Amino acid sequence: MTDHRPLILLDVDGPLNPWKAKPTRRPAGYETFRMFPSGWRGRKGLRVWLNPRHGDLLGALADVTGGELVWATTWLEQANTLIGPEVGLPELPVVHWGVVDAHRWKFSGVLDYAGSRPLVWFDDDFDVHDNARRWFLEQRGAAHTLLRHVDPRVGLTFDDVSDARDFLLRATEDETGER
């Protein structure tokens, strides 16, 4: 059976961990966590700022839109073991992309995973590689796609989630003819 639910793709660094915020000023609502992801060489854990309310906010977005939450992050499965529990998310599927191609970035893996399903993707790096976004959108064609840039100094906001909700509800209505 093919899954036709819309996708809600989540990056960690930027949207959930506002890594670009001033190092001495944690954003409001965020808590500091020290984590040891595989490959981390520091004696002190990696500082990660997370907002424990994001799980409820994203869960509500999935419930209202019928969407499926999926990790689209270089944290891969570690997002489920290190990030998800701290923000209140259950174990989620993970998009894999193998070696990140300098010309296609994460887009190739997302393209393969998503097929023609409507999607909203929360990330802060859509334009890190020249023309990768354009290539991805061309490949997606008429499939409903919202690449929602999240400011890595601020992290995911209610406005980001509200815009995603509105987009996914319209996309679902367009595909089914009902709301």
Predicted confidence (pLDDT) per residue in 84-126, tens digit: 999 999 999 999 987 666 667 789 899 999 999 999 999 999 9
**pTM of the predicted model, to two decimals?**
0.93
CB-based burial label for 137 (10 Å; 0-12, 13-18, 19+): middle
d(CA 170, CA 177): 10
Given this model, what pLDDT does residue 43 score? 86
Identify the structural domains of the chain with CATH numbers, from first to last: 7-21+52-176 (3.40.50)
- HSE (side-chain half, CA atoms, 13 Å) at 48: 24
In whole angstroms, what is the distance from residue 118 CA to residue 175 CA?
A: 9
Q: Where are the beta strands (DSSP E) in 36-159?
A: 46-50, 68-71, 119-123, 145-149
**Coil, strand or helix: which one is 48?**
strand
- 3-48 pLDDT tens trace: 789 999 999 999 999 999 998 888 999 999 999 999 888 889 999 9
Residue 175: its pLDDT value, please? 66
Helix H segments across 4-106?
Answer: 54-65, 78, 84-87
- b/e string for 78-90 if b means 16 or more Cβ within 10 A? bbbebbbebbbbe
Region 38-65: mean pLDDT is 94
Closest-CA residue to 118 (of 94, 95, 93, 146): 146
pLDDT tier at 179, thresholds 50, 70, 90: very low
What residues form DSSP beta bridges with 69?
8
Q: Which helix (H) or strand (E) holds 7?
A: strand 7-10
| Predicted pLDDT at 176 | 58
| The pLDDT of residue 101 | 64
Q: How far apart are CA 117 and CA 132, in angstroms?
A: 20
Give pLDDT, residue 30: 96
Q: How far apart are CA 126 and CA 106, in angstroms?
A: 9
pLDDT for 118-169, tens place per residue?
999 999 999 888 888 999 999 999 999 999 999 999 999 999 999 999 999 9
